[in-house]
Amino acid sequence: MKMIFKIAKTELRNLFYSPVAWFLTVAFMVQCGVYYCAPLVTSARWQDITMKSMPKFKDWGSSLTVQLFLAGDSIFKNALENLYLFIPLLTMGLISREVNNGTIKLLYSSPVKTREIVLGKYLAIMLYNMLLVSVIGIFMLLGIFQIQHADYGLLLSALLGFYLLVCTYTAIGLFMSSLTNYQIVAAIGSFIVILILSRIGGLWQKYDVVRDLTYFLSISGRTVKMLKGLITSKDVIYFLLVIFMFISFTLIKLKSGRESKSWLVSASKYAGVVVLVLSVGYFSSRPAYIAYWDTTAGDYNTLHPNVQKVIKEMGPGKLEVTLYTNLLGGGAPKGFPQGRNDYLTSVWERYQRFKPDIEFKYVYYYDTDDKDSMVYKTMPGKSLPEIAQQVANGFDQPLSLFKPPAEIRKMIDLQPENYRVVMELKYNGQRTFLRTFDDATFWPEDEHIAAALKRVMQAKLPRITFLTGHLERDIYKKGERDYQLLVYAKDYRQSLMNLGFDSDTLSAGREIPTDISMLVLADPKTALDQSSRDRISEYVNKGGNMMILGEPGKQQVLNPVLQPMGTQLEDGKLVEVTGYEMPDMIKPMLTPGMAEMARDGVSKAFYSKMADGDTLLTVDMSGTASVAAADTSGFTSKVLLATRPGKDWLKKGALVADSAAPVFNALEGDTRRPSYATAMALSRKVGNKEQRIIVCGDADFMSTIRQKTSLTFVCREMFCWLNYEAFPIYGPLAMPEDGLLRTSYAGANTTYILFVWVLPALIALVGTILLIRRKRQ
């Protein structure tokens, strides 16, 4: 060990007696300074402006630690992207310089062992790498002082990822330096090897034999998790294995130069190292052997305890997940073999952390039963197999990979899933579908996966019953005013079906089951008969939860149902005159009552900011009545949606929406109050449970046309509240606490000057003086 340290000391001395190390240090410091200080100055300037104009301003609501260090043009992102430019210049002369100077012969003739030479030189580079880490560490300390509640766990994880990556690059550079006497060739060789390792993860991913091999060898993305604050044993071992591999290659190369053995011997040694690395890497990347450490303050990389609880309830039984990919269906490329590792990483890796015995299967097919589909229109006159062959050629996939319609239909009926990419979950003999969606995210999220896991466990899911028989909104139709998108749309991630709710209809007047989670009466157009009202009253008196949605002009239909609950829909229609909307288009605000209904800290904090006037959220309601409550029924009322103060009035007379702007007319019975409620929550104690009821003066905001444009999470919050927050199984991220700077714009400018100009100039001056003195000696 003493000899290793001596060689490392000598190598470090030679390193800092050359201009390369000083130049790289100064360049790296300037780069880090610019990419930390520039966004800091921008954020500080806007924070000063905002705090002066908004006295109630608390924070930005997003992580400044991420913004300044990890996102966009931040310090870590740019340091890692440009690292490959620095390292080859640093390592190109490690071995080749000894050969060119003739000192390698002296080392060989001395009692110094080859491994001591290699390890000593690599130790010197590791120590220099610590200097680069120290440069970033300076800005990390600045960030901890300049950001309120900075997430230092995230920063330390990112720093570890940076150090492991730079050590890996230097191990590659060390080996390339041993292959040639020309330093520039060694530098270019390092560039090439780093490029290959960065790109190899995307090569031959369609072939099962080499997919996992090339994906494991890829260095690209290995620091992604660490930059997000998640340290895994798989990634750490990967870096250590690659470092070990290239240091071993260097030893083999130097020893082969001193020994007169066949090239087959050296080749077998190289092969042995590769086999050892791949074997250890394979087993260390198996889900059952991976250790995880989420260093972030809010455990952002870990499944929420609500979702963990679902997985824990499953027990040790094996979960089988089969991905069905239709060559002719929506999202097909996402399910192709070359996307398999991305699919596992983005969807299931976090679940394997808590349930490593998940078994994954893949089925590829082509099928469609729609003769009017685009596949026939784009290729007229061709049969389905001929079309499939052309599409397979376009995607560069062998048609033999895909099962024909007759074969896949014997296995499973995918017609109800519209023949798109879908997953089937099997557990203890039960099965259910987990769907993908036509949006930017595509794959299901935690609330969808948790709901599917509940289904295969045959857990009790919330049951919603929609009353019919009086022209209510239809949950099976796709019309603009209907609720199919809200309830049953399989390709819509916010539909109640995909969130874990079971829904059905019941004719009004029939006996209402007592085991349902809630009853929904959505905008009946004709009056309910006495029998129907009695059934509803009986259900409510027993403590059943309910949602009632009305429309202006039909108040008399619902008020007989609402009056026993101490509430009613007021006669008339709310009006708001603006320069850009029809007068009956109302945009009520979310109220602080929604904060009490919210299930997680993020929503509560957001609603609380809204209550303080820091932000404003509105819901589109195309024609709504006002909801009024009395205190005579035993219910406690809470306003959920309310019009903005002074903006609206309740018009009792006829409203002509497509002519001149309506005018307030008290003689016609119009009334004006500071604000009107358009949605209200009622609650009371019935026995040992809390009964919950929601009344809305508008039914359109849950319809198909408004689900596509309005705030869909409001609907989810309402249904969630009515089933006591059990579903959707919510897994929210914690609200970032590091959303405020401690420094002002002036302080940020001072930081910029000091760490972009002054400090690098001082280091450059010290390096110049040292090099001049060295040259004179």
The sign of the torsion formed by the CA atoms of 305, 222, 289, 230 equals negative
Does 467 share its domain with 340? no
Residues 451 and 469 in one domain: no
- The pLDDT value recorded for residue 772 is 83
Q: Does residue 740 form part of some domain?
A: no
Of 411, 429, 456, the domain-final residue: 456
Which range marks the domain in which residue 329 is found?
A: 305-456
State the pTM of this model: 0.87
Q: Please report where in the chains the tokens 């259900």 appear, as a residue.
A: 539
**Is 727 within the bounds of a domain?**
no
Domain-located, residue 17: yes
Q: Are residues 480 and 370 in the same domain?
A: no
What pLDDT digit, counting tens, does each position of 466-476 carry? 999 999 999 99
Q: What pLDDT is stored for residue 288 in this prediction?
A: 85
Q: In the chain, which residues have pLDDT < 50?
A: none
The three-class DSSP label of residue 547 is strand
Q: What angle do CA 300, 306, 308 make, to 5 degrees?
A: 75
The whole-number pLDDT of residue 442 equals 93
Between CA 367 and CA 377, with CA 373 as vertex, the angle to 5 degrees is 115
Q: Any idea which residue has 């790498």 for tokens? A: 129
pLDDT score at 623: 86
d(CA 562, CA 540): 11
| pLDDT reported for residue 4 | 87
Report whether 95 contacts 178 (CB < 8 A): yes
pLDDT at residue 543, rounded to an integer: 92
Q: Assess if residue 735 is contained within a domain.
A: no
Unique residue bearing structure tokens 């089969």: 322
Do 441 and 395 lie in one domain? The reply is yes
Specify whether the backbone of 551 is left (phi greater than 0), alpha (psi in -120 to 50) or beta.
beta
The amino acid sitting at 323 is: L
Would you state the pLDDT for residue 664?
77
Given a contact cutoff of 8 angstroms between Cβ atoms, the answer to whether 436 and 443 are in contact is yes
**Placement of tokens 């059934």 in the chain:** 535
428: left (phi over 0), alpha (psi -120 to 50) or beta: left
Cα–Cα nearest to 717, from 591, 549, 598: 598
State the chain's maximal CA–CA distance in angstroms.
Answer: 112
Q: Are residues 200 and 286 in the same domain?
A: yes
Asked if residue 554 belongs to a domain, the reply is: yes
How far apart are alpha carbons 446 and 449 in whole angstroms? Answer: 5
- Compute the distance between CA of residue 318 and CA of residue 356 in angstroms, rounded to an integer: 9
Name the percent of the chain in helix, strand, coil, to the closest 5.
Answer: 50, 15, 35
- In this structure, the answer to whether residues 473 and 451 fall within a common structural domain is no
Q: pLDDT at position 110, please?
A: 65
- Determine the pLDDT at residue 105: 59
- Residues 475 and 581 grouped into a single domain: yes
State phi, psi for 361 to the nearest 5 degrees: -130, 160
Alpha carbon distance 720, 731 (integer Å): 13
* Residue type for position 293: W
One domain, residues 683 and 753: no
Q: Rounded to a whole number, what is the distance in angstroms from the first to the last CA of the chain?
A: 31
Q: Which of 456, 485, 506 is the last residue of a domain?
A: 456
518 beta partners: 464
Report if residue 733 sits inside a domain. no
Specify whether 692 is located in the same domain as 759: no
Residue 631 lies in a domain: yes
The pLDDT of residue 378: 74
- Chosen domain end from 423, 456, 489: 456
Do 520 and 579 belong together in one domain?
Answer: yes
The proportion of the chain whose per-residue pLDDT surpasses 70, expressed as a percent, equals 90
- Are 391 and 524 in the same domain? no
Judge if 132 and 175 occupy the same domain.
Answer: yes
Question: Does some domain include residue 741?
Answer: no
Taking residue 135's Cβ as centre, other Cβ atoms within 10 Å add up to: 24
Q: What does the block give as tokens for 324? A: 């069905």
Give tens-digit pLDDT for 26-45.
Answer: 989 999 999 999 999 999 99
689's CB contacts (< 8 A; 6+ apart) are: 543
Number of folded domains that form the chain: 3
